[in-house]
Amino acid sequence: MLEIISIKNSNNIWHLSKIMINPDHISIVAEASEVNSLFQEGKINIGLNSKVMFSRLSMRTVSGFQDIIAVGSPTEILEKINKTTKRLLKG
What pTM does this model have?
A: 0.85
Rg over alpha carbons for the chain, rounded to the nearest Å, is 14
Nearest to 73 by CA among 57, 89, 61: 57
**Residuewise pLDDT in 10s, the chain (91 residues):** 899 999 999 998 999 999 999 999 999 999 999 999 999 999 998 989 999 999 999 999 887 888 999 999 999 999 998 887 665 555 5
Q: How far apart (Å, rounded) are the C-alpha atoms in residues 77 and 57?
A: 9
Contact 48, 71 (CB under 8 A): yes
Q: Is 45 exposed, middle or buried (0-12, 13-18, 19+ CB in 10 A)?
A: exposed
Q: Which helix (H) or strand (E) holds 55?
A: strand 54-61
